[in-house]
């Protein structure tokens, strides 16, 4: 019905965009299965040597472990405090706008500013840079996302749900544990997955606040600046598979229930 040439043009641009977005992903993955010598990929010699040497690369494995530990702590801290804040600010007028603004600041500001502010803060309060400071940095960064996810769900819950619970004689704590928490759990899970994904890939704040031990992106950053290593290609492939799995998981947890509540 609409002029064909325009549709072809649109499809072509979309295809170009897809190629532009995916080539940086596929180039290292494909390269990971071939021998690399002097910065050149030798297409004639396929190999899994990169994966073998990755398995023996202690530095990378340690960084991976640190990343997972940081991610887990960040998720725990951000989900607890994000949910608490959402519950607290939900339905409260005074001071909510200002505090919400503060929570969103690290997410809106360039990470370099948040990172540097924290760096100076840690120095002023005398906190040594370590994985702990990284966890604090990540939590501050992802808090807004968790808070937002939980608050959105809270706002979609009918007020009468809580009122019904009180009406039936439940105390505040009982209402929290038996009515609110079960209804918030999927939003909290969704927030947790997002928080983990963001923490897993966070680089700019981490670089600034990390101590001697560093997370995977920072370790990769350091390695890449030194030069090309086939291990990295292998790691890229593995991380891609991991993130796609995480993405599928997040979609499963988040989409069906949110679609159901969004259709109010």
Partner 1 sequence: MTGPGPASTPTRWSQRLVTLLAFATPVVFILVPLAIFLGYSFFSVDHGEINYTLTLANYARFLSDPIFLPVFWNTCVLCLSVAVICVLLAYPAAYFLTTLKGRWRYMLLMLLMVPLLMSYVIKIYAIRSILGLNGFLNKALVGLGILQEPSSLFVFNMNAILLTLSLLLIPFAILPIFLTLERIPPILRQASDDLGASAAQTFLRVTLPLSLPGVASAASFVFVLAIGDFLTPQMVGGVSGFTFGRVLYSQFGTAYNWPFGAALSVALAAVVVTAILLGERFGRNRGASL
CA distance 50 to 33: 7
Q: Could you give the CA distance from residue 232 to residue 196 in angstroms, rounded to a whole number?
A: 22
Q: Which listed residue (62, 68, 76, 116) binds partner 1 by CB under 8 A?
A: 116
Question: What would the DSSP string read from start to end of 211-249?
Answer: -SS--HHHHHHHHHHH---HHHHHHHHHHHHHHHHHHHH
Binds partner 1 by CB under 8 A, chosen from 52, 88, 97, 262: 88
How many angstroms separate the CA atoms of 107 and 96, rounded?
A: 17
Cβ proximity of 203 and 94 under 8 Å: no
Verify binding: residue 119, partner 1, rule CB under 8 A: yes
Of 97, 110, 211, 256, the one binding partner 1 by CB under 8 A: 110
Stretch of 46-54, 58-66, 110-118, 184-192 contacting partner 1, by CB under 8 A: 110-118
CB of 59 to partner 1, least distance (A): 15
Q: Is 124 in the site for partner 1 (CB under 8 A)?
A: yes
Which residues in 54-83 contact partner 1 (CB under 8 A)? 81
Size of the site for partner 1 (CB under 8 A): 86
Pick from 140, 159, 166: nearest CA to 90: 159
Alpha carbons 197 and 141: distance in angstroms, whole number: 12
Distance CA 181, CA 179 (A): 6
Paired strand residues for 41? 36
> Do residues 79 and 186 make contact, with C-beta atoms less than 8 angstroms apart?
no
CB of 58 to partner 1, least distance (A): 20
User: Which of 69, 201, 257, 261 touches partner 1 by CB under 8 A?
Assistant: 201
Q: How far is the CB of 26 from partner 1 (least distance, A)?
A: 9
- Nearest approach, Cβ of residue 239 and partner 1 (Å): 6
Applying CB under 8 A, does 18 fall inside the site for partner 1?
yes
Q: How far is CA 2 from CA 5, 6, 7, 9, 116, in A?
A: 9, 8, 8, 12, 52
3-state secondary structure of 91: coil
Which residue lies nearer to partner 1 by CB, 12 or 48? 12
Residues from 203 through 262 that contact partner 1 (CB under 8 A): 203-204, 207-208, 216-217, 220-221, 224-225, 228, 232, 235-236, 239-240, 243-244, 246-247, 251
How much is the CA Rg of the chain, to the nearest whole Å? 23
Hey, is 34 helix, strand or coil?
Answer: strand
- Which of these ranges, 46-54, 68-76, 94-102, 183-191, lies near partner 1 under the rule CB under 8 A? 94-102
- Cβ closest to partner 1, residue 134 vs residue 239: 239
| Least CB distance to partner 1 at residue 109 (A) | 6
Considering the complex, state which of residue 192 and residue 236 has its C-beta at the smaller distance from partner 1.
236
Q: Which of 44, 56, 95, 126 binds partner 1 (CB under 8 A)?
A: 95
């Amino acid at each position: 019905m609409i002029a064909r040439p325009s549709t072809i043009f649109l499809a072509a641009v979309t295809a170009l965009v897809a190629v532009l977005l995916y080539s940086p992903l596929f180039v290292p993955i494909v390269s990971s299965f071939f021998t690399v010598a002097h910065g050149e990929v030798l297409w004639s010699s396929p190999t899994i040597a990169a994966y073998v040497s990755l398995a023996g690369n202690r530095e990378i494995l340690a960084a991976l472990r640190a990343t997972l530990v940081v991610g887990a702590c960040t998720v725990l801290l951000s989900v607890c405090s994000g949910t608490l804040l959402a519950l607290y600010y939900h339905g409260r007028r005074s001071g909510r706008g200002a505090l919400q603004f503060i929570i969103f600041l690290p997410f809106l500001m360039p990470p370099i500013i948040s990172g540097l502010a924290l760096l100076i803060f840690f120095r002023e309060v005398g906190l040594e840079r370590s994985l702990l400071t990284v966890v604090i940095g990540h939590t501050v960064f992802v808090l807004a996302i968790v808070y937002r996810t939980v608050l959105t769900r809270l706002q979609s819950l009918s007020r009468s749900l809580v009122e019904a619970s009180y009406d039936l004689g439940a105390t505040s704590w009982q209402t929290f544990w038996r009515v609110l928490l079960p209804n918030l759990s999927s939003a909290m899970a969704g927030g947790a997955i997002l928080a983990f994904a963001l923490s897993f890939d966070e680089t700019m704040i981490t670089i600034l606040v990390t101590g001697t031990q560093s997370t995977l992106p920072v370790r990769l950053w350091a390695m890449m600046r030194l030069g090309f290593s086939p291990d990295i290609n292998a790691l890229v492939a593995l991380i891609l598979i991991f993130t796609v799995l995480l993405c599928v998981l997040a979609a499963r947890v988040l989409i069906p229930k949110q679609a159901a509540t969004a259709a109010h």
